[in-house]
């Protein structure tokens, strides 16, 4: 019997359903449209969507667009594309917090009428000073005891555009001595004369996150509002807002640990900086871990799903090894993709006893471990390219590849024995010579003798010259985010076998003995094909 362990969020939901707190489950993913989604967001989307599926409930995609300063429609569109790509269906439940501005405003009026919100004339700096510290209680604002009528009229002035930015705010009247700083009369509304990407100039007051978010959840009937741990001590305020605004039933907030990945730049703010400073080639630069970058690099949604599952949901912060993400894409592509031949650092191999002008056709399985991918034809002739590292003049111990007088198998073709080589003035190998044995053809059942090494090759006659982009980690250090100057290496004279003629941008392959590669969707053309290395075959990660 398989035991599926349930995470702590599922335990909480089970309990709520048993106790009749809620009759069904409704979750949401609430991105702020101020940047592109990254792998951390994928964890949150898939967690929320997965819960809605498991409990036969509902899932909402809601744009938390209450802060127009940093928001933009470009981000709204990219987020929708990314969420869709993850296989999440939100077409009946796409929401915008800005659609609730009227309701939020009414909620604020309700709080003023109840005597639990007031207009404050203190400046932002003064408010901070009055707030106190963890060890010292705060002080009441001199404006805290304004009458309901005065508050209503001052709030109206704020709404009507009669107040300058920063001159007045609406605050909750809770407790300036609360041990929780978030409860010391938090700001609910501020003045900002700025146009919103959806509501234009209709509003010049905007609600603060801690006020807006619970109301958004409540309006939509969200039951479990799942967010990351840094909001844990905002939960009393969340509960205060839903209680005082008198929504029923009340949503509840549950926190889980953020995904932190080693060796990558996470956090929209930092990624945006790299994009703005042009350190990277846009939000989808394959060195980033935004979803659009991972997609461009050749990551599949299945690999991301598997990764998120492996990481799991927890209540304590930790750092996940980037190698785990690489492990997931390797595992996903291993049986799904054809294994093709490509030479990244070519040196010519001339087979001296192979007739000049002759070309023969060889057949090869596309994936030795998955017959379902079928066979393909390759051409073979006298001149081939092999990897420079597959030949050595003076081999070290246990080197089973090509060196003078040694014999290897050319993958899917023949045994070839090295007979010589040319060097240039600097001692670099410029050409390797060999002879082949016609009896050793792959698939012929030849058993006469064995060789220890098999190397791959590309026919020099019809191989296609391509560009290959090799990626290393973008940052040298997780704390300082210092940029690695060698994070991108461009190889301009790689050769791939002629079977790539019809390959399209976005398609991915294994290059045998090397790694997985994806044809770039942005820069690849028919004349200059560009391949992104998704991941190399070697792994440092062990399950
Ligand atoms: P960032 O920290 O990258 O700026 P954010 O939290 O400001 O992201 P939002 O658009 O507010 O971005 O996030 C939408 C949802 O995604 C929130 O519920 C947030 O908690 C969640 N989320 C953001 N980053 C992560 C992460 N690293 N791991 C898990 N969930 C995350
Ligand atoms: Mg946020
Ligand atoms: Mg943020």
pLDDT at 245: 97
Measured from the CB, is residue 41 less than 6 Å from ligand 1? yes
Alpha carbons 463 and 497: distance in angstroms, whole number: 5
Domain containing 427 equals 342-456
End position of a domain, from candidates 224, 256, 288: 256
Give the DSSP letter string of 145-205: T--HHHHHHHHHHHHTT-S-TTT-EEEE-S-TT-SSGGGSS-EEEEE----BTTTBTS-SE
What is the reported pTM?
0.95
Strands (E), 399-487: 407-410, 415-423, 429-437, 454-455, 458-459, 464-471
Residues facing 489 on adjacent strands: 470
The band of 5, judged by pLDDT with boundaries at 50, 70 and 90, is: low
Judge if 47 and 175 occupy the same domain.
yes
Average pLDDT, the chain: 96
Measured from the CB, is residue 259 less than 6 Å from ligand 1? yes
**Across 283-304, average pLDDT:** 98
pLDDT at 4: 54
Q: Which residue has the tokens 């959840």?
A: 217
Structure-block tokens of residue 477: 């250090």
pLDDT at 2: 40
Task: Give the phi and the psi of residue 170 in degrees, each rounded to 5.
Answer: -100, 130
Give the residue from 312, 304, 272 showing the smallest Cα distance to 288. Answer: 272
- Write the ipTM: 0.96
Judge if 238 and 101 occupy the same domain.
yes
Alpha carbons 293 and 283: distance in angstroms, whole number: 7
End position of a domain, from candidates 256, 275, 295: 256
Residue 330 lies in a domain: no
Judge if 436 and 479 occupy the same domain.
no
Judge if 72 and 19 occupy the same domain.
yes
511, containing H or E segment: strand 508-511
Judge if 468 and 450 occupy the same domain.
no
Judge if 449 and 479 occupy the same domain.
no
Residue 303 lies in a domain: no
Judge if 422 and 484 occupy the same domain.
no
Counting ligand 1 atoms within 8 A of each CB, the residue from 36, 40, 307 with the most, and so the one to mutate, is 40
pLDDT at 480: 82
Judge if 113 and 240 occupy the same domain.
yes
Nearest atom in ligand 1 to 31's CA: 10
Judge if 211 and 193 occupy the same domain.
yes
Task: Give the residue whose CA is nearest to atom 26 of ligand 1.
Answer: 40
Tell me: pLDDT of 540 over 80.
Answer: no
Residue 271 lies in a domain: no
CA angle, 395 then 400 then 402, to 5°: 65
**Across 249-256, average pLDDT:** 97
Residues facing 189 on adjacent strands: 170, 207
Task: Give the phi and the psi of residue 298 in degrees, each rounded to 5.
Answer: 120, 10
In tens, the pLDDT along 48-69 reads: 999 999 999 999 999 999 999 9
Task: Give the phi and the psi of residue 471 in degrees, each rounded to 5.
Answer: -110, 140
Four-residue CA torsion sign, 365, 367, 372, 378? negative
Q: Count CB neighbours of 358 within 10 A.
A: 9
Residue 281 lies in a domain: no
Q: Give the distance from CA 239 to its chain's centroid.
A: 32
Among all bound ligands, the one having the nearest atom to the CA of 36 is 1
**Across 260-282, average pLDDT:** 95
Q: Can you give the CATH number for the domain in which 516 is found?
A: 2.40.240.10
Residue 273 lies in a domain: no
Judge if 93 and 189 occupy the same domain.
yes
Give the DSSP letter string of 371-399: GGG-EEEEEEESEEEEEGGGB-SSPPTT-
Residue 36 lies in a domain: yes
What 8-state DSSP symbol labels residue 363?
A: E
Alpha carbons 381 and 301: distance in angstroms, whole number: 40
Instruction: Check: CB of residue 95 under 8 Å from CB of residue 60.
Output: yes
Alpha carbons 251 and 243: distance in angstroms, whole number: 10
SS3 label, residue 418? strand
Judge if 415 and 477 occupy the same domain.
no
The band of 543, judged by pLDDT with boundaries at 50, 70 and 90, is: low
Nearest atom in ligand 1 to 44's CA: 30
Judge if 215 and 351 occupy the same domain.
no
Q: Can you give the CATH number for the domain in which 166 is found?
A: 3.40.50.620
Residue 265 lies in a domain: no
End position of a domain, from candidates 256, 272, 295: 256
Give the residue from 328, 309, 324, 319 showing the smallest Cα distance to 262. Answer: 319
Measured from the CB, is residue 258 less than 6 Å from ligand 1? yes
Number of domains in the chain: 3
Structure-block tokens of residue 384: 């081939």
Measured from the CB, is residue 227 less than 6 Å from ligand 1? yes
Structure-block tokens of residue 175: 């407790």
In tens, the pLDDT along 175-221 reads: 999 999 999 999 999 999 999 999 999 999 999 999 999 999 999 99
Residue 292 lies in a domain: no
């Amino acid at each position: 019997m398989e035991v599926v362990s349930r995470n702590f969020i599922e335990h909480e939901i089970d309990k709520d359903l048993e106790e009749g707190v809620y009759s069904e489950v409704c979750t949401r993913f609430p991105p702020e449209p101020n940047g592109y989604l990254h792998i951390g967001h994928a964890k949150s989307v898939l967690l929320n969507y997965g819960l809605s599926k498991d409990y036969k409930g509902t899932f909402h995609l809601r744009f938390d667009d209450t802060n127009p300063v940093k928001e933009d429609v470009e981000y709204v569109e990219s987020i929708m594309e990314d969420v869709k790509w993850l296989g999440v269906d939100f077409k009946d439940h796409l929401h915008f917090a800005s659609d609730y501005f009227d309701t939020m405003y009414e909620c604020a009026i309700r709080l003023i009428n109840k005597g639990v919100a007031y207009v404050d004339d203190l400046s932002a700096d003064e408010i901070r000073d009055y707030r106190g510290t963890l060890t010292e209680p705060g002080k009441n604002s001199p404006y805290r005891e304004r009458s309901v009528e005065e508050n209503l009229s001052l709030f109206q002035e704020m709404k009507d555009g009669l107040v300058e930015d920063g001159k007045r705010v609406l605050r909750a009247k809770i407790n300036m001595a609360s041990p929780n700083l978030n409860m010391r009369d938090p700001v609910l509304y501020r003045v900002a004369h700025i146009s919103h990407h959806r509501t234009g100039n209709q509003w010049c007051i905007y609600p603060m996150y801690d006020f807006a978010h619970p109301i958004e959840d409540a309006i939509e009937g969200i039951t479990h509002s799942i967010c990351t741990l840094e909001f844990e001590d905002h939960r009393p305020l969340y509960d205060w807002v839903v209680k005082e605004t008198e929504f029923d039933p009340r949503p509840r907030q549950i926190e889980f640990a953020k995904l932190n990945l080693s060796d990558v730049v996470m956090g929209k703010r930092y990624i945006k900086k790299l994009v703005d400073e042009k350190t990277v080639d846009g939000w989808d630069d394959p060195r980033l871990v935004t979803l659009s970058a991972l997609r461009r690099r050749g990551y599949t949604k299945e690999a991301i799903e598997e990764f998120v599952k492996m990481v799991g949901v927890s209540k304590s912060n930790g750092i996940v090894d980037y190698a785990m993400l690489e492990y997931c894409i390797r595992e996903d592509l291993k049986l799904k993709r054809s294994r093709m031949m490509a030479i990244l650092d070519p040196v010519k191999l001339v087979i001296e006893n192979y007739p000049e002008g002759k070309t023969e056709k060889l057949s090869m399985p596309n994936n030795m471990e998955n017959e379902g991918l079928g066979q393909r034809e390759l051409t073979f002739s006298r001149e081939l390219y092999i990897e420079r590292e597959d030949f050595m003049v003076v081999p070290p111990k246990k080197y089973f590849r090509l060196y003078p007088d040694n014999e290897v198998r050319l993958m899917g073709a023949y045994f070839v024995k090295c007979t010589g080589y040319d060097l240039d003035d600097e001692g670099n190998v410029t050409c390797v010579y060999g002879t082949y044995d016609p009896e050793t053809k792959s698939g012929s059942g030849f058993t006469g003798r064995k060789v220890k090494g098999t190397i791959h090759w590309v026919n020099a006659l019809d191989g296609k010259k391509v560009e290959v982009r090799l990626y290393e980690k973008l940052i040298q250090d997780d704390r300082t985010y210092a940029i690695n100057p060698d994070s991108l290496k461009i190889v301009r004279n790689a050769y791939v076998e002629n079977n790539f003629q019809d390959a399209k941008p976005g398609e991915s392959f294994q290059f045998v003995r090397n790694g997985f590669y994806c044809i770039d969707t942005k820069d690849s053309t028919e004349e200059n094909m560009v391949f992104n290395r998704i991941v190399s075959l070697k792994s440092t990660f062990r399950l």
